[in-house]
Amino acid sequence: MNICDFMMYAMMDTVSYINMQQVIHHKKQRVQMPKIAKELTVLEIKRLGQGTFAIGGVKGLYIRKTPTQTLFILRYSDATGRHDFSLGSFPETSVAAARKAAREARALIDKGGSPIEEREGQRKAKREAKEAALREVEKSKLTFEAVALEWISDRAKNGFWSKNLRGEKDTRQILARHLFPVIGSKNIEHITPEDIRTCLAPIWQATPSIAKKARTHAQKIFQWAIALHKRNNPDNPAMMSGALGVLMEPFSKNRKPKQNYAACAVSELPKLMATIHQYDSMSAQACEFAILTAARSKAVRLARWDEIDLEKGIWVVPLEHDKIKTPNRDRTIFLSSRAKKLLSKIVRYAESPYVFPSSHGSHFSDVALTMFLRGLHEKRLEEDGIGWIDPVKTEKLKKPCVITLHGTARATFRTWAKDDEIGNNRRFDQEAVEFCLLHSRNDAYSGAYDRAPLAKERRAIMEAWGEYACSYIKS
């Protein structure tokens, strides 16, 4: 055999060897090729050992057996690579169900879709639906009371009432008394203007100021809830510009006119001050100081020594003791010589910061001052059969109207300061008179741009008022 024959036979053996190896490799990889295999029965599948086996019926349908689980899979390839798509575990998933699912997945693949992506989309949709359902359940628990208390806590946490010591307490009381009993347990989503009317109607005429506060609180609570998506309905049922205004219109038109506080006549005031001056009690001194400063009863009762500067002759009323809560406005009251003299005579108690402390070291109650003036009235009534009454209001209402501290301290002062018979209307700057009463400007623009305190005018007015009020007092 020559060299050429040898090389020819060698090449033939090599080709045979390669072909044989390809056949062997093909046999090893046969399980991985997606093809339609013989349909195995349930019994045949159960008899299979561990491994991955084609079970037929659908191209690429296999069952994978491991020591821990038996799983149906659909093996397929696309542009992203080869994938094994789970169809469920055996025997929880029947063979028939696995083949049905495989056919549906194969149809999707043939259209260019991805069963894996579709399943993930379905799972995502289910998760989102579940989360939405949970949110709805949580929203169903959002009662008006729960939201209102959360609103209060949010305000308190952010210092809303930092300069109003009673603000939070008063708000809670109004809500508890007038709103919670009616709508407290109702879901905030379902509260209507009719519900708000039911809350307000009983107090709308009797105590309009409380009704106004209750409605304002409700309006702000709903605004807060809408802003935080605690209420999906964007309509605020407590807005007077909406349906509530229409529903409350009959109540508004039938509201009783506001009655002013009974006040002492200007001509009688010096006599009243002389009468009060005869008493050396803390109640008498508090009443006298209130009249001399034309101040509100609350500010007087809660007045502290650290608010008063006798040397400068001023008393700065803190925001929390003032009726008007507008921040950064002038709350200075100028003390007349008579007012400073009165304060200099008052005994200071180390255990109490108040100018007019009660016997317990706390501040006076409004009732205590009212009872003091009532006692003066009863005593004078026995003497002249008239007592200390407001002549104008008594004539109007056809019944005796006993003077009040608020009316006498403020209304009498205002009437005196604007009296045209004695010329005070021309003598005093009337804007300064309003500042003496700690009234705000009605003109929003002047309040914003003109902040002249008119200190000189106010001090002169209070000095003249002190001299007039104490003109019957000899000392």
The pLDDT score that the predictor gives to residue 254 is 54
- Pairing mode of beta strands 51-54, 81-89: unpaired
- Predicted confidence at residue 205, as pLDDT, reads 79
Amino acid 36: pLDDT: 57
Q: What local confidence, expressed as pLDDT, does residue 416 receive? A: 95
What is the spatial distance between Cα 259 and Cα 374, in angstroms, rounded to a whole number?
19
Shared-domain flag, residues 42 and 189 = no
- Amino acid 406: pLDDT: 93
Dist CA 118 CA 112 (whole Å): 12
CA distance 357 to 303: 9
Predicted pLDDT of residue 27: 47
What does the alpha-carbon distance between residue 314 and residue 335 come to, in Å, rounded to a whole number? 5
Phi, psi of 387 (to 5 degrees): 85, -170
Look up the CATH number of the domain holding residue 399.
1.10.443
Return the CATH number at 222: 1.10.150.130
Domain boundary among 253, 280, 298: 253
Domain boundary residue among 253, 275, 298?
A: 253
Q: How far is CA 441 from the centre of its chain?
A: 29
Short-list 344, 376, 410, CA closest to 275: 376
Same-domain pairing of 54 and 2: no
In a domain, 261, yes or no: no
> In this structure, what are the phi and psi dihedrals at residue 59, rounded to the nearest 5 degrees?
-60, 125
Q: Tell whether 361 is covered by a domain.
A: yes
Same domain (yes/no): 232, 276? no
- State how far the Cα of 261 lies from the Cα of 208, in Å rounded to an integer: 16
User: Do 390 and 446 lie in a common domain?
Assistant: yes
Domain of 440, in residue numbers? 266-469
Does the residue 402 lie in any domain?
yes
Whether residue 17 sits in one domain with residue 66: no
Nearest partner of 199 among 183, 187, 186, judged by Cα:
183
Mean pLDDT by 10 residues, the chain (475 residues): 53 50 48 61 88 89 91 89 90 91 90 87 84 66 90 92 81 94 92 94 85 94 93 92 87 62 94 94 94 94 94 91 77 95 90 86 81 94 94 91 94 92 87 89 46 82 96 87
Inter-CA distances, 86 with 33, 42, 61, 374, 433, Å: 17, 19, 10, 91, 88
- Quick check: is 60 in a domain? yes
Number of H helices, E strands in the chain: 22, 7
Kindly state whether residues 94 and 166 are assigned to the same domain: no
The CATH number that applies at residue 101 is: 3.30.160.390
**In this structure, what token pair is assigned to residue 15?**
């080709």
Residues 407/263, Cβ–Cβ less than 8 Å: yes
Q: In the block, which residue shows the tokens 């003791």?
A: 321
Alpha-carbon span 44 to 38, nearest angstrom:
11
Residue 238 per-residue DSSP state: T
Q: Which of 93, 111, 129 is the last residue of a domain?
A: 111
Asked if residue 209 belongs to a domain, the reply is: yes
Amino acid 199: pLDDT: 93
Residues 19 and 51 in one domain: no
- Give the integer Cα–Cα distance in Å for 170 and 155: 14
Domain for residue 126, yes or no?
no
What beta strand segments (E) does 366-474 contain? none
DSSP string across 63-107: EEE-SS-EEEEEEEEETTEEEEEEEEETTTS-HHHHHHHHHHHHH
| CA–CA distance, 297 with 2 (Å, rounded to integer) | 136
Is residue 415 domain-shared with residue 293, that is, in the same domain? yes
Residue 379's pLDDT is what? 94
Same domain for 444 and 299, yes or no, is yes
Domains in the chain: how many in total? 4
Same domain, 287 and 384: yes
Residue 139 placed within a domain: no
Same domain, 338 and 411: yes
Q: Which two tokens stand for residue 339?
A: 């007012």
* Residue 119 belongs to some domain of the structure: no
Same domain, 82 and 155: no
